[in-house]
Structures are given as C-alpha cells and as structure tokens.
C-alpha cells in the first residue's frame, strides 16, 4: 500500500506451538476457520495475524501444545493514549471510515452489579432451606389487573369478573434474548429453542424471521418485529408465543443495523423474505413510528392482527431519560418492556456507539421500576433486564432493582462454546454459532448445545433458589424491587440515590 505509511500494526495475539509436545496431528489446521495454521510438510506453520483468540485450536489440541498471548508487542505505556485509541486512529487514518466491532462494549468502566452486595439472614430472621421449603421462581410476564372484580353466580359460587390479559408463564426468571437467524446459525437457534422448552422459558427470534426448523418449538418462541420488518407476516406473528417490537438495542442505541449481503444465504433469504445476497437494512426508526403517539398504533395493529391473544413486548435501549421513555412505552399498551443496557451484545456495531452511548442496565431498570410505580403503571407492564447478565447474582440483583425477569444472550452463546472473541462479523465462527458456512454450522450439534444452555439456566436457577433461601425469601415476587436486600459497595451517594439502594453498613 504505497499511499499509506502506517504499514502493519503490531500483532494482537501471538500463537505458539510447543514443538516438543506437538505431534503434527493437524487438528488445529482443520479447526481454525481463520487460517492461522498451515501444514507445510511435517511442520505446522503459524500466521498469528489471523488469530481472533477464539480458542478453537486450544480446545481441540490433544497435547495442550498451543499457547496464545494477547498484545505480545508493547506500546509505550500511556494512560490516555492507550493501545485501543492509538490503533483506532491508525485504522481510520488508513480507511476514513466508521469502525465496526463485534459483541458488547469493551469500555473499561466499573460494573455496578459488582458493587452491589446481596443480603442473607442471620439471627433476627432465619434463612429458608430450599431443600425443605419451596422457593417459588415461577413468573408471569404481562399486564396484571390493578384490581379484581368478582360476581356471585345464582348458586352462590363466586367467579372472577375481571377479564385477564394474556401472560407468559416462565418457570425461572431467565429468558433467552433476541439474536437473529442470520447473525447466528440455525443450529444455535435450534439449541436455544430446545433449551427453552426443556427449562420452561422462551427464546427470542431476533429480527431475522422464523426458520421452519423452529416451528415445532414455536410455543416457546418470542417473535420480533423490528424496523426492517424482515420475515414479518401474519403467519409469523401468529406462530410466536409473544411478539416483541424492537425499538432499540443497547449496543447501538439510536441507529439501525444491517446484515451484509454475504450473510444472506439461501436459507437466511427465505426466512427474512429478501433476495439472496442482498443487504438487509434496518432503518434507525420504525418509519411508521415518528413519535410516541404512533407507538400505540403499532402495538394495537399487532394485537389486532393476532386477535388480542398474545402479549406484546417492546425492547428499548437504556439511554438518558430512561424512566420517561419506559413510562411512555408502558402507556402504549405493551405487556412487557425489555430494557437493554449499554453493555448489550451485538453481531456488529459501530465501536463509538458500543463503547460510548447509553447507560448501564442496573440504573435503567431501577429508574424504570421507580418511575412506573410513581405513575401507578407498574402493574401494566413486566420489566425485562438485559445487556450483560453474566451470572446468577446479576439476575438476583436485576430483580431486586425492579426487573421481573432477564434476557441472557452472550451467556447462552458462551454456554454453546463461544469465547466472546468479538469476531462475529467475519462470519467464520469456528464454533458454528455466528456463521452460515455449512461445514462450520455442522460443528454445533443442537442436541449437545441445547443441553449445555439448559444446564446453564438450570444451574443459575439453583443458585438463585439458594440465594433467595439464604435471604429468607420464598417467592420471586418478594424479591422484585426489594432494594432493601441490596447494599452498595463503593458507590457514590448520587448513584445510590438513583438506584434507591443504601450503602453497605446502613
């Protein structure tokens, strides 16, 4: 490149092989879809520049001969001009373009969840032993009536007069969040659908339509309607157990998305209902919603199309004025609101959005719950927290801050083997997750992967049961919004006030 003097960047990763251990079996060559390894005679050659740290080679090396180091080349250390900032400048000086990146935020900001401590009972109240006493996690998502009316029948029996709106029943407050077929593979979708069925929860389709392979699990699927309306028709709407209107995404609030033509394979094109190889562009807004007064019209149009039989969710990104946004959406007639924090995942997002736009889910869920209660709307919608729910403690804390349930997505992918390497956009995922290349997709056995996802949810559910028992809480309703069971550790007074949580020691 004669018109650029920047040359090659320092290696991001260095891959080495312990030649004493290596038996030249070639599994690394076969497994690496990025082309790091090459067999040359009886020696395996390495091109570290292609490495993404996906760990596929390390996982499949029978002799533990492969080692990987990140940033093997030091820059002059500098607290302001860090490596990432400098490399972005080199990239943009070379290309003049917006930098896209895979997966969620890498900004090194404090995680509020990690600074919230959970409570447990000691001498004043006894803990509950979940082995002996039931701890109820079953959750209903959707509108709850503000009051119940009853009428007496002629024979004296009493029956409910209030008409109830449809709810989704989940056995554990963990749902599998929306990732589209196209962004991830059919086998990944199948694995999540089967896991959802096994553990009694639901999975989201994302905005890529519903592949016929998922029809057997449609009662466990929440179908999504996004601004591109890909794969959306009346049949799709009626297959889902619920319908989610995607208004925003935590990884890239305020902008749309597009699946590049390379990923629109024959099967993906069928499901999205667009020609093979064409870009699938989702505009930033829904172009039939240009103001908050238009949202009720979209909500009602979907309810009309499905005979008012299905709960309608809306997903928004967590940004400034989150409480007002949530209250506005709650008045639009939706049954549940998913709020996606700024650490939410994505197949691809502009780096500048991923790392700089939005607010954390912990704050968003707490302010949403507080505002809805203030306005007397809390019973009108369920709240789903999403955007970097990493472990069972995060689920507990999100619920104690006011959520009804959580969406997990990156965690579910990790349960299938994903190493969060962030190269989803390359479409070469060696784990068969974020790819449409059939030989790679075939690596992910949906039976095996669904068991792993189900195991993860089961394990978290057990941990939540134990944590609740330890806190003397026997039903999830008693944990919801129960900020008294949280204490802030090294959080400032302003943030504690926003969260409505007391500091440790109080």
Distance CA 41, CA 37 (A): 13
Q: Does 97 bind other proteins (CB under 8 A)?
A: yes
Q: Which is nearer to other proteins, 240 or 488 (CB)?
A: 240
Q: Which is nearer to other proteins, 33 or 187 (CB)?
A: 33
Q: Which is nearer to other proteins, 146 or 297 (CB)?
A: 297
Q: Does 101 bind other proteins (CB under 8 A)?
A: yes
Q: Which is nearer to other proteins, 248 or 350 (CB)?
A: 350
Q: Give the shortest CB-427-to-other proteins separation in angstroms.
A: 12
Is 110 exposed, middle or buried (CB count within 10 Å of its CB: 0-12, 13-18, 19+)? exposed
Q: Say which DSSP state 131 is in.
A: T
Q: Which is nearer to other proteins, 97 or 153 (CB)?
A: 97
Q: Does 229 bind other proteins (CB under 8 A)?
A: yes
- Identify the residue among 278, 320, 321, 438 touching other proteins (CB under 8 A): 278
- Identify the residue among 204, 422, 427, 432 touching other proteins (CB under 8 A): 422
Distance CA 347, CA 299 (A): 27
Judging by DSSP bridges, how do beta strands 280-282 and 257-259 pair with one another? Answer: antiparallel
- Identify the residue among 297, 320, 321, 438 touching other proteins (CB under 8 A): 297
Q: Does 232 bind other proteins (CB under 8 A)?
A: yes
Stretch that binds other proteins, among 164-172, 183-191, 274-282, 447-455 (CB under 8 A): 274-282
Q: Say which DSSP state 483 is in.
A: G
**Which tokens belong to 472?**
């003397």
Distance CA 77, CA 60 (A): 35
Q: Which is nearer to other proteins, 129 or 262 (CB)?
A: 262
Angle at 29 between CA 439 and CA 43, to 5 degrees: 160
First to last CA, the chain: 63
Binding mask 367-406 for other proteins (x = CB under 8 A): ----------------------------------------
**How far, rounded to the nearest angstrom, does the alpha carbon of residue 348 sit from its chain's CA centroid?**
13
Stretch that binds other proteins, among 191-199, 230-238, 320-328, 483-491 (CB under 8 A): 230-238
- Identify the residue among 407, 425, 431, 460 touching other proteins (CB under 8 A): 425
Q: Does 300 bind other proteins (CB under 8 A)?
A: yes
H-state helical runs in 403-445:
410-415, 438-441
Q: Does 237 bind other proteins (CB under 8 A)?
A: yes
> Is residue 497 a contact partner of residue 483, using CB atoms and an 8 Å limit?
no
Q: Which is nearer to other proteins, 195 or 245 (CB)?
A: 245
Distance CA 474, CA 362 (A): 23
3-state secondary structure 203-220: EECCCCCCCHHHHHHHHH
- Identify the residue among 273, 319, 496, 498 touching other proteins (CB under 8 A): 273
Q: Give the shortest CB-432-to-other proteins separation in angstroms.
A: 21
Q: Does 22 bind other proteins (CB under 8 A)?
A: no
Q: Phi/psi at 435 (nearest 5 deg)?
A: -155, 160
Rule CB under 8 A: which of 181-220 touch other proteins?
none
Q: Does 269 bind other proteins (CB under 8 A)?
A: yes
- Identify the residue among 305, 470, 495, 504 touching other proteins (CB under 8 A): 305
Distance CA 443, CA 428 (A): 12
Stretch that binds other proteins, among 43-51, 156-164, 215-223, 302-310 (CB under 8 A): 302-310
Q: Give the shortest CB-209-to-other proteins separation in angstroms.
A: 11
- Identify the residue among 80, 123, 154, 234 touching other proteins (CB under 8 A): 234
- Identify the residue among 206, 350, 402, 481 touching other proteins (CB under 8 A): 350
Q: Give the shortest CB-76-to-other proteins separation in angstroms.
A: 22
**Which tokens belong to 275?**
């020609």
Closest C-alpha among 176, 67, 57 to residue 416: 176
- Identify the residue among 142, 182, 206, 228 touching other proteins (CB under 8 A): 228
Q: Which is nearer to other proteins, 173 or 350 (CB)?
A: 350
Closest C-alpha among 196, 175, 239 to residue 383: 175
Closest C-alpha among 243, 170, 176 to residue 410: 176
Stretch that binds other proteins, among 29-37, 180-188, 327-335, 419-427 (CB under 8 A): 419-427
Q: Which is nearer to other proteins, 262 or 492 (CB)?
A: 262
446-470 helix and 186-199 helix, angle to the nearest 10 degrees? 40
Note the residue count of the chain.
506
Q: Which residues contact 222 (CB under 8 A, 6 or more apart)?
A: 168, 175, 178, 202, 203, 204, 205, 240, 241, 242, 243, 244, 313
Distance CA 326, CA 240 (A): 24
**Which tokens belong to 38?**
């090459």
- Identify the residue among 308, 447, 484, 492 touching other proteins (CB under 8 A): 308
Q: Which is nearer to other proteins, 274 or 366 (CB)?
A: 274
Q: Does 82 bind other proteins (CB under 8 A)?
A: no
Distance CA 367, CA 378 (A): 12
Residue whose pair of structure tokens reads 């553990």 in the numeric block: 199
Residues interacting with other proteins, by CB under 8 A?
88, 91-92, 94-95, 97-102, 228-229, 232-235, 237, 258, 261, 269, 273-275, 278-279, 281, 283, 287-288, 294, 297, 300-301, 304-306, 308, 350-351, 422, 425-426
């Amino acid at each position: 490149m004669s018109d650029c003097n920047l040359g090659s960047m320092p290696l991001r990763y260095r891959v080495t092989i312990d030649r004493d251990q290596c038996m030249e079996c070639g599994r690394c060559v076969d497994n690496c879809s990025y082309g790091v390894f090459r067999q040359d005679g009886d020696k395996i050659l390495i091109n570290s520049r292609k490495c993404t740290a996906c760990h596929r080679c390390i996982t499949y090396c029978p002799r533990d001969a492969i080692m990987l180091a990140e940033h093997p080349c030091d820059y002059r250390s500098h607290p302001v001009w860090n490596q990432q900032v400098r490399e972005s400048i080199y990239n943009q000086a070379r290309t003049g373009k917006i930098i896209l990146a895979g997966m969620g935020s890498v900004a090194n900001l404090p995680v509020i969840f990690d600074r919230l401590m959970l409570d447990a009972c000691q001498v004043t109240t006894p803990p509950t032993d979940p082995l002996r006493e039931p701890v109820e996690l079953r959750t209903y998502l959707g509108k709850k009536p503000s009051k119940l009316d009853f009428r007496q029948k002629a024979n004296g029996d009493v029956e409910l007069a209030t008409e109830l709106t449809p709810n989704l029943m989940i056995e554990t407050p963990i749902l599998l969040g929306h990732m589209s077929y196209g962004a991830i593979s059919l086998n990944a979708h199948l694995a999540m659908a089967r896991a959802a069925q096994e553990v009694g929860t639901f999975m989201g389709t994302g905005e890529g339509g519903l592949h016929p392979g998922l029809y057997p699990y449609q009662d466990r699927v929440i179908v999504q309607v996004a601004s591109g309306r890909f794969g959306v028709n009346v049949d799709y709407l009626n297959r889902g157990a619920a319908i989610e209107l995607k208004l925003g995404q935590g990884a890239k609030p305020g902008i749309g998305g597009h699946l590049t033509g390379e990923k629109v394979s024959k099967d993906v094109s069928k499901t999205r209902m667009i020609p093979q190889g064409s870009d699938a562009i989702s505009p930033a807004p829904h172009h039939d919603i240009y103001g908050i007064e238009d949202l009720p019209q979209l909500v009602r149009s979907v309810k009309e199309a499905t005979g008012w039989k299905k709960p309608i969710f809306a997903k928004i990104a967590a940004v400034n004025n989150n409480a007002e946004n949530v209250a506005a959406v709650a008045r639009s007639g939706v049954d549940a609101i998913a709020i996606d924090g700024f650490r939410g995942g994505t197949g691809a997002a502009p780096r500048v959005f991923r790392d700089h736009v939005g607010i954390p889910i912990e704050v968003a869920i707490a302010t949403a719950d507080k505002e809805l209660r203030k306005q007397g709307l809390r019973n009108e919608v369920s709240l789903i927290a999403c955007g970097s729910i990493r472990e069972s403690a995060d689920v507990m804390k999100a619920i104690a801050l006011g959520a009804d349930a959580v969406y997990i997505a990156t965690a579910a992918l990790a349960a299938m083997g994903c190493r969060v390497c962030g190269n989803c956009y390359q479409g070469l995922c060696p784990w068969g997750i974020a790819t449409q290349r059939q030989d790679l997709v075939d690596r992910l056995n949906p039976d095996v992967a669904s068991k792993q996802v189900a195991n993860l949810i089961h394990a978290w559910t057990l941990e939540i049961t134990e944590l609740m028992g330890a806190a003397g809480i026997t039903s999830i309703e008693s944990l919801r919004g129960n900020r008294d069971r949280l204490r802030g550790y090294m959080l400032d007074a302003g943030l504690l006030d926003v969260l409505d949580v007391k500091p440790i020691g109080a």
